[in-house]
Structure 1
């Protein structure tokens, strides 16, 4: 199969996927206003204020009920999807999964060639790309949540200083703050309303979000409930600490920017060079494939590149 035909397949697949996705969006969802910044409040308005039904539906859409167990690959993937905040129906999840598998199969055939290895490695490549996309969405959502968290804590502090109980302060954050923190604190308020303990509800929110800073808030509230003390003052100090942590993270990101860009370039350069050579001289690598060792060479090089990428990632990544 020539390169031009493969490219045609890729473009046709992308066009069909986008078209089907657009049709499904139009058929299964309502047109939402751009000004709707809190998904939970919007659903409450659409559902006539039925708090219990909205709560159950939000948990269902976020895959926060049921699941594949607490351990294993499927549980990990479910947790990553839940923390990404994506709300896709089962049909669309299946559609995207099939689409990424086909994309991986075509991409592997274009880069390495056909054969039995393509049937196995192609779908694995597609699923890996899909997981990376979901993890990217998850990372962006957690980052936005952490940026909003100090403001939410300040709202809670002011509400506590005004004499309101903690549950009322949490509900206020759920009403006043935009997503993602607005809907998450709204779900937390719903759980408290329906009888859950605060510690359990905080742990559930931590599992839905996955932010380390939220764990600090959960521990702070739990310890204060057991030992006593001025919760408003404790939360005010926690808010300042989270802000300082964000400043340090931004400084480290700026300092390591050059190294991170270098690692990305080094990771994609071999694939870009291979694509350019194949485009200019399609028969350049024919001797490699005809030798019978082409697949083994490519697999070995990919394994070496994977180790190299891991080393580069560790060099430019800072944990604090």
Structure 2
């Protein structure tokens, strides 16, 4: 083999090695970028996870739609270790199952009604998880204010104080403050990072804390005294919210009991007289009356929930 052929073969092997190395670095960088985007732009806030993601193709497609972005935003506020594709797939499976169960156990008319209830329940589940996370975060706000006051009194900057508080606190406050600290590390301003936190977990207590931190960061002043006074105020509000939630627990239980009584009566009627619901919903008048009854149960549920909702 001539020297020219050997030189060409060596160059070819070198180019192949460089191509493989470049492809490896490109794939690694893309994976890191995707993990960073998921962490900072609406992915789960639990940090790195080794769980294999399901329905990756569905997740990539649904994230490009407005519905997928809305679902992803709601999931990011709940702290659930789910992707938009996983939640969408599970919700569709539950809706189809409810449709089939209601159509077979009651009457075909109740299939679409059960599917609509399933979609509404999925949204309610996300809102419930979000509110649960907000309540847990509010309960940790006195500790957040105390840690920030101590760190500021020790001479640390606000960015460093937030990072230290993120390391000291448990979830969800630790995860949320860690996200804020990561955003500050990437160059975002304190106003934007804390403002996004207040939008993600809206509450009066958090708005007061964020406003205090933003104003002190802009204008300076005795932030230590303000944070310590805010700590005592948040402790008092925490106890007040706990007492109110205990007093309203019976009202909230009644709100869910009323629709369950309606469902139980339908099952009782259909079991005592097989095919009764199918005959009732077989005419337009029967369908209208059934929808009216279901609507009244829904109105009762929302009215009871509204009466038991007290802003503290």
TM-score bucket of the superposed structures, by smaller chain: 0.7 to 0.9
Q: Does 1:166 pair with 2:158? A: yes
Q: How is 1:119-134 mapped onto 2 (pairs within 5 angstroms)?
A: 119=112, 121-134=113-126
RMSD over aligned Cα atoms: 3.0
What is aligned with 1:207? 199
Q: Does 1:104 pair with 2:98? A: yes
Superposed displacement of residue 291, structure 1? 4.6
Unaligned runs of 5+ in 2: 1-27, 46-62
Superposed displacement of residue 59, structure 1? 2.5
What is aligned with 2:43? 62
Superposed displacement of residue 294, structure 1? 2.5
Q: Does 1:250 pair with 2:242? A: yes
Q: Is the 8 A contact 1:83 1:207 kept in 2?
A: no
Q: Does 1:82 pair with 2:111? A: no
Match of 1:139 among 115, 118, 131: 131
Q: How is 1:124-273 mapped onto 2 (pairs within 5 angstroms)?
A: 124-273=116-265
What is aligned with 2:20? none
Q: Is the 8 A contact 2:72 2:83 kept in 1?
A: no
Distance in structure 1 (CA, Å) of the matches to 2:89 and 2:35: 26
Superposed displacement of residue 154, structure 1? 0.9
Give the direction of change, closer, same or farther, for the CA distance of 1:53–1:177 in structure 2 (3 Å limit). Answer: farther
Superposed displacement of residue 55, structure 1? 4.2
Superposed displacement of residue 279, structure 1? 3.2
Unaligned runs of 5+ in 1: 1-46
What is aligned with 2:310? 318
Structure with max Cα Rg = 2
What is aligned with 1:275? 267
Distance in structure 2 (CA, Å) of the matches to 1:274 and 1:63: 40
TM-score scaled by length of structure 1: 0.73
Distance in structure 2 (CA, Å) of the matches to 1:53 and 1:160: 35
Distance in structure 2 (CA, Å) of the matches to 1:68 and 1:157: 43
Q: Secondary structure of 1:293's partner?
A: helix
TM-score scaled by length of structure 2: 0.74
* Residue deviations 1:40-94 (CA, integer Å, cap 9, x gap): xxxxxxx9xx998864341256289x8767xxx7765443222111232354233
Distance in structure 1 (CA, Å) of the matches to 2:81 and 2:204: 23
| Count of matched residue pairs | 266
